[in-house]
Amino acid sequence: MSGGRRPSGGPGGGRAAVLGAVLLWLCWRAAAERLRYSMAEELPRGSLVGPLARDLGLSADELPARKLRVASAGKKQLKYFTVSEGNGNLYVSERLDREELCGESLSCSVSFEALVHNPLNVFHVEVAIEDVNDNSPVFRKAVLELEIGEWTLPGTHFPLEMARDSDVGSNSLLTYELTSNPSFSLAVKENPDGSKQPQLVLERGLDREKQSSFELVLTAVDGGDPARSGTVQVRVNVTDLNDNPPVFSQSIYEARVSENLPAGSLVLQVRATDADAGSNGRVSYSFGDVSEVVRALFTVDSESGEVRTAGPLDFEEMSKYSFELEGTDGGGLTGHCQVQIEITDENDNVPEITILSLSSPVPEDAPVGTVVALLKIRDRDSGENGEVSCELSGEAPLSIVASSGGSYKVVTASALDREQASEHRVTVVARDRGSPALWSSAELLLEVSDVNDNAPVFEEASYSAYVRENNAVGALVLRVVARDLDAGANGRVSYWLSGGSAGAAGAAPLVSVEARSGAVYAQRSLDYEQCREFLVAVRAQDGGSPARSSTATVRVFVLDQNDNAPRVLYPPPPAAPGSVGSAFEVVPRSASSGYLVGKVVAVDADAGRNAWLSYELVQASEPALFRVGLQSGEVRTARAVSERDAAKQRVVAVVKDHGEPALSATATLHVVLAESLQEALPELSERAAGAEAAGELQFYLVLALALLSALLVLSVALAVLARLRRAGPPGVLRCLGAQRLSLAGAAFPADFCEGTLPYSYNLCVAAPPRANPEAAWPPPPLPIVPAEELVAGEPCEKPSPSSSAVAGDPPADLDAPQVCKHLHSLFLRFS
């Protein structure tokens, strides 16, 4: 979008007027902010030029954020200066030679731009380079050869070569000195351009026969402090008569040529005449004391005096050349003239576009008028050829505003929106006013950075999902998708549960959502009979700061499966498996076909076809006597009851649902054929007694099984004890004595000396207390009955071979045989 477009009126026109005023103020401020410093040439690296940050009004605390730096349209200027990041001072980064930079120009300066950011602005800085006397006067020739005839009259002046000093000002003002000689002196002639021409003056007549040559030294001294000097040797050869030097037709020749002349083009022609005859009157032309630059750009024909171009002339490099030509005759006399050539400018330089700063990317919420780029436009031509206009080409919400010193600012002309255009590509076109006009272009690529100005948007505001009950834990329910138009972290969406009937407080959630993918998974197996549908809210949140979010509702419908068998309500099922139910129906023997015996009532917790029930008769004492209604479950007589039919009938019906696969349950109905209830009571009591007898029989069977198990364990234990008994007495008792006593009951001494088990046991049976009026302590020892005797059933009256009675003890056969016999009988009974 071109910066010249302007709205004509309305609210948009008011905004444009305000924007124009702001930009005008910025341009005026930039124009006023030009800083000037001066420094001497040849300063060492790191020398202070000036406090740039302080002069721009920046404090030390602001420097890190403002990012002060130098910029220039040419890389040549950038290498000389640098800005300290710590204090903002301007320092020399490379030695600067004024003569190399500006040549013979009286004034010399380096211009560049100082950039600051946040906000972006540009300041023009100019550093004047002051000359120091660092160059000595130099003569082009090491020896000056002069030929002077012996007939030359005293007082004759002979021009000498001028020395050149690259310095300017007083440092280039030269004075000349000549070594003392009675035959010669030195005079100085001031030329029209202000330069001083040394001349050798003949003080007295020469005699070639007495002295044919003279050796003199000419010294040139500049006006610097301290002064510098240069010398050249002057050799004077005394010759025969040649009394007329060449004389040019003009003392100053002037020419005006355009730049870019091809090599060999004629610039001008000089002419000198000599009144002498012969070789003394033949003049040859040559350069006088000229610089190497002049010799590279021009040539002079020694015979004709034509001055032609030898190289390309460039107005931008040098607009005027001034040099000296000399004419020399055959006798060695010379004449001098001044040549001044002025170069006229042509429109041969296209405008140069330098991007000083480009703020890319720029945030999309940047206000209108934000500076996004600083440009420097330079045209090396002069006059109208160097006047440049600049514009933007391309559709973009940008405009270009001229600043001072050939600088331009590219600013935002309207609001940016990254979601509509993530980058803007425009072309800066710079065009001069020459004829024909020259132009150049540079492309600007401005990237727009994202800000979190868009919330995630779900593809659907409400989702529905269908899940079969009894699903696996972790089964995928559905996947929600939300999209965010922002980029990067601002557009990275994560998902969360934010409420709903499935996420109520105090209840475990039924579903979960994966944060990255939006996949909703079942947290547990669902049951249609407990929850047929539920609602959950899913929140999508981006990763911006602050974050933006949106919410969608997910309604989950649970689909029924045939996972519940029919449940019979009547007749009631038996209280325990194997028991007989308590439902009896009395049917008179006079009942005819179709008589309603009873009704099987059943329900199914499933829904739909899974809950549709049908009834069938599967078993009956008299199958032909009863029938069951397919849909109603009514049990009716299929024929009339006869006297031959048994009094007690059992009818079994099956109840089936219509699921896939079908589930079923059975109902048992007990029917008594009797005319009245009194007649049916004996049958009912007999059946109850039979049931009670069956229950008692079951109890005794369980008890017998338990006793058999206990006897088996006891037999194993007794067998182990018998084996230990046959192993011999324990080693501990052998150490203590020959008798093993049981003082207060059963003793179980440990045997650590022998046997395969760590312990062996003896079974000790205590006899009943004796009828002794006196109490004795300790009580007498009791006999120890070996376990094998108990197992083998041997008479307990026989004394044990492993036990011996202590003298004075009563006999140990009072009641022991009865105890042993009782144990033996118990053992035989259990076994």
Token pair 């005319």 is found at 675
Spatial distance between the Cα atoms of 362 and 447, rounded to a whole number of angstroms:
6
Look at residue 718 and tell me if it is in a domain. Answer: no
- Greatest alpha-carbon pair distance for the chain in Å reads 194
Would you say residue 760 lies in a domain? no
Query: How many other C-beta atoms can be found within 10 angstroms of the C-beta atom of residue 335?
Result: 21
Q: What is the pLDDT of residue 439?
A: 93
Q: Does position 516 have pLDDT exceeding 60, yes or no?
A: yes
Do 548 and 583 lie in one domain? The reply is no
> What's the confidence (pLDDT) of residue 287?
92
**Nearest alpha carbon to residue 298 among 335, 339, 336:** 339
- Residue 774 in any domain: the answer is no
CA proximity to 794, closest of 708, 722, 707, 695: 722
Please check whether residue 714 lies inside any domain of the structure. Answer: no
Please answer whether residues 673 and 621 qualify as being in contact, where contact means their C-beta atoms are separated by less than 8 angstroms: no
12 has a pLDDT exceeding 60 = no
Same domain? For 438 and 482 the reply is no
- Rounded mean pLDDT of the chain? 80
In a domain, 172, yes or no: yes
Question: Between 750 and 195, whose confidence is greater?
Answer: 195
| Terminal Cα-to-Cα distance of the chain (whole angstroms) | 115
Look up residue 744 and give its amino acid: A
Mark whether 596 and 521 lie in a shared domain.
Answer: no
Is the residue at 691 inside a domain?
no
- Last residue within a domain, chosen from 651, 679, 707: 679
pLDDT of residue 812 exceeding 60, the answer is: no
pLDDT of the residue at 476: 95
Lookup: tokens for 529? 């009979």
Task: Tell me which range, 63-67, 615-619, 737-741, is most confidently predicted by mean pLDDT.
Answer: 615-619
Pairwise pLDDT comparison (779 vs 400), residue with the higher score: 400
Average pLDDT of the residues in 17-46: 62
Tokens of 380: 């090396």
In a domain? residue 212: yes
Q: CB of 338 within 8 A of CB of 193?
A: yes
Report residue 388's pLDDT band, with 50, 70 and 90 as the boundaries: very high
Strands 439-449 and 362-363, by their bridges, are parallel
Q: What is the pLDDT of residues 427-441, one digit of tens each?
A: 999 999 988 899 999
Range 688-692 average pLDDT: 52
Residues 571 and 669 in one domain: yes
309 lies in the same domain as 410: no
Q: Among 237, 243, 239, which Cα is nearest to 277's?
A: 243
- 790 part of a folded domain: no
* Together in a domain, 362 and 340: no
Q: How far apart are CA 582 and CA 283, in angstroms?
A: 160
What integer pLDDT is reported at residue 191 of this predicted model? 81
303 phi and psi, to 5 degrees? -95, -45
One domain for residues 182 and 221: yes
What total number of domains does the chain contain? 6
How far, in Å, CA of 55 to CA of 58, rounded?
8
Point out the least confidently predicted range of 460-464, 487-491, 539-543, 771-775: 771-775
pLDDT at 270 over 90: yes
- Is pLDDT above 50 for 751? no
User: Percentage of residues in the chain with pLDDT exceeding 90?
Assistant: 38
Reading the block at residue 823, the tokens are: 């144990």
Same-domain pairing of 604 and 549 = no
The per-residue b/e assignment along 161-176, b for 16 or more CB within 10 angstroms, e otherwise, is: bbbbbbbbeebbbbeb
Q: Can you tell me the mean pLDDT for 74-86? A: 78
Mean pLDDT of the 287-310 span: 92
Contacts of 825 (CB under 8 A, 6+ apart): none
Write the pLDDT tens digit of every residue in 439-496: 999 999 999 999 999 999 999 999 999 999 999 999 999 999 999 999 989 999 999 9
Which SS3 state, helix, strand or coil, does residue 597 take? strand
What pLDDT does 500 receive?
Answer: 67
Tell me which H or E stretch contains 233.
strand 229-239
What's the whole-number mean pLDDT along residues 326-345? 89
Instruction: Check pLDDT > 60 for residue 689.
Output: no
Q: What is the 3-state secondary structure (H, E, C) of 676-708?
A: CHHHHHHHHHHHHHHHHHHHHHHHHHHHHHHHH
Angle between the N-to-C axes of helices 677-726 and 816-830, in degrees from 0 to 180, rounded to the nearest 10? 120
Q: Which domain holds residue 162?
A: 143-239
Provide mean pLDDT across the span 50-71. 87
Q: What average pLDDT does range 617-629 have in this prediction?
A: 90
Lowest mean pLDDT among 220-229, 427-436, 483-492, 568-577: 568-577
The CA distance from 475 to 493, in Å, is 23
Q: Where are the beta strands (DSSP E) in 261-406?
A: 266-269, 272-273, 284-287, 298-300, 306-309, 320-328, 334-344, 352-358, 362-363, 371-378, 388-393, 398-402
Confidence band (pLDDT; 50, 70, 90) for 629? very high
Residue 317 CB neighbour total at 10 angstroms: 13
Tokens of 391: 């514009």
Asked if residue 107 lies in contact with residue 128, where contact means CB atoms within 8 angstroms, the answer is yes
CB of 373 closer than 8 Å to CB of 426:
no
Share of the chain above pLDDT 70, in %: 78
User: String of b and e for 656-679 (b: at least 16 CB within 10 Å)?
Assistant: bbbbeeebebebbbbbbbbeeeee
Residue 825's pLDDT is 45
Domain of residue 108, CATH code: 2.60.40.60
Q: What is the dihedral of CA 737, 741, 746, 749, to 10 degrees?
A: 0
Does the pLDDT at position 342 exceed 60?
yes
Q: Which of 673, 645, 646, 679 is nearest to 589 (CA)?
A: 673
**Looking at 205, 239, 273, which one is the last position of a domain?**
239
Domain end call among 239, 259, 274: 239
- Return the DSSP state at 349: -
Residue 323 has pLDDT above 70, yes or no: yes
Which range, of 211-215, 444-448, 548-552, 813-817, averages the lowest pLDDT? 813-817
Whether residue 336 contacts residue 422, with contact meaning beta carbons closer than 8 Å, is answered with no
Confidence of residue 98 (pLDDT cuts 50, 70, 90): confident
| 72-82 average pLDDT score | 72
Q: 793's torsion region: left (phi>0), alpha (psi -120 to 50) or beta?
A: left
Q: Note if the pTM is more than 0.75.
A: no
* Shared domain check, 441 and 517: no
Q: State the Cα–Cα distance between residues 67 and 79, nearest whole angstrom.
A: 19
Pairing assessment for the beta strands 143-149 and 482-483 based on DSSP bridges: unpaired
Q: Is the pLDDT of residue 542 over 70?
A: yes
Using pLDDT thresholds of 50, 70 and 90, give the confidence band for residue 147: confident
CA nearest neighbour of 388 among 437, 430, 440: 430
Judgement on whether residues 203 and 278 belong to the same structural domain of the protein: no
Could you tell me the two tokens for 514?
Answer: 């994966």
How would you write 745-786 as a 3-class SS string? CCCCCCCCCCCCCCCCCCCCCCCCCCCCCCCCCCCCCCCCCC
Residues 326 and 401 in one domain: no
By DSSP bridging, strand 476-479 and strand 519-522 are: antiparallel
Name the token pair of 493.
């969406």
Whether residue 828 is predicted with pLDDT greater than 60 in this model: the reply is: no
Residue 547 has which token pair?
Answer: 């974050």
- With a cut of 50, say whether residue 781 has pLDDT above it: no
Helix, strand or coil, per DSSP, at residue 85: coil
pLDDT score for 280: 79
Distance CA 542, CA 38 (A): 56
Statement: residue 779 has pLDDT above 60: no
Same domain, 635 and 609: yes
